[in-house]
Amino acid sequence: MSEEESGESGAKETAVEKEKKPEAEEKVEEKPLVKSGDLILVDYTVRVKETGELVETTLEKVAKEEGIEAAGPFEPRLVIPGRGFLLKAIEEALIGMEPGEEKKFEIPPEKAFGPRDPSKVKIIPLRRLRDVEGPITVGSRITIDGREGIVRSIGSGRVMVDFNPYLAGKTLECEVKVLKILTEEMDKIKALIHHRIPDVDVEKFEIIIEKPEIRVSIPYDAYLLPAIQVAKRTLARDLMDHIEDVEKVVYIETYSKENFQ
């Protein structure tokens, strides 16, 4: 091959390489990963490892399989990792997950509800339990002096009551799925409202964003809800903490004649 032909061949190869180069440099879009402080929607199921007992779930199908139908609503849960919306061990497991990802893991007692404390198991004379509501049977939960306990045994006029938290000393099995990382401000606001005032359809709240202020019109359905004032105060803090540049939350309540008819 002559130098001229070799030069032409080299030029052609260089041209081909240049044509291919942009394709080689195409960037693969990175999926967002959950970070501490993100607002995310998740589904999860928690069981006791030793017995398989269902502790909590957001999935109606799982609840129905267990014969539980009245403990809803069953829907995705708002979680903000690092803010204590769920057990710390569950929130830590969510960090680094991507939307659509599922994960199964165990939580030992020391990272769940702590080990059982034998000193919290008390023997109480049956006569002291005369004023306790409901039947006193093995496994029933009773409240004595403001403390809730589980009846472990009954005999000889005495009752053994375990005042440890119900899940103390138990390993938990968890299944979680990240459904969505919320990025739009309105989606975040609606999710926070629904989390704090779940008994009223979030679409009934009128929301106006004019930073540094957010105005929320409260629907009449929410006026007489138990602890609504506490919910509004907590929601205001949530909105100022998680919506950028918001310094004030104004609630608007409107009464009309038809409200009293």
Residues 6+ apart with CB under 8 A from 118: none
CA 84-226-41 angle, 5° bins: 35
Measured CA to CA in angstroms, residue 216 lies from 1, 28, 91 at distances of 80, 40, 29
Residue 58's pLDDT is what?
Answer: 94
What's this model's pTM, rounded to 2 decimal places?
0.78
Whether 179 maps to a domain, the answer reads yes
Judgement on whether residues 70 and 142 belong to the same structural domain of the protein: no
Whether 257 maps to a domain, the answer reads yes
List alpha helices for the chain, DSSP H: 3-24, 60-65, 88-94, 185-196, 228-242
- Residue numbers of the domain that contains 210: 184-261
Residue 258's pLDDT is what?
Answer: 83
Judgement on whether residues 195 and 248 belong to the same structural domain of the protein: yes
Whether 75 maps to a domain, the answer reads yes
Digit-coded pLDDT (tens) for 76-99: 999 999 999 999 999 999 999 999
Measured CA to CA in angstroms, residue 74 lies from 69, 77, 187, 197 at distances of 9, 9, 19, 15
What's the CATH number where 155 sits? 2.40.10.330
Residue 67's pLDDT is what?
Answer: 82
Residue 137's pLDDT is what?
Answer: 87
131 falls in which pLDDT band (50, 70, 90)? confident
Judgement on whether residues 214 and 260 belong to the same structural domain of the protein: yes
Residue 7's pLDDT is what?
Answer: 53
CA 66, 69, 72, 74: dihedral to nearest 10 degrees?
60
39 falls in which pLDDT band (50, 70, 90)? very high
Taking the chain, what is the end-to-end CA distance rounded to the nearest angstrom? 100
Digit-coded pLDDT (tens) for 104-123: 999 999 999 999 999 999 99
Average model confidence (pLDDT) across the chain: 88
244 falls in which pLDDT band (50, 70, 90)? very high
What percent of the chain has a predicted confidence (pLDDT) above 90? 68
Specify whether the backbone of 117 is left (phi greater than 0), alpha (psi in -120 to 50) or beta: beta
Judgement on whether residues 129 and 196 belong to the same structural domain of the protein: no
Whether the pLDDT of residue 230 is over 80: the answer is yes
Beta strand segments in 108-238, E: 121-125, 141-144, 147-155, 158-162, 172-181, 206-210, 213-217
Specify whether the backbone of 52 is left (phi greater than 0), alpha (psi in -120 to 50) or beta: left
Digit-coded pLDDT (tens) for 158-193: 999 999 988 999 999 999 999 999 999 999 999 999
Q: Count the domains in the chain.
A: 3
Specify whether the backbone of 256 is left (phi greater than 0), alpha (psi in -120 to 50) or beta: beta
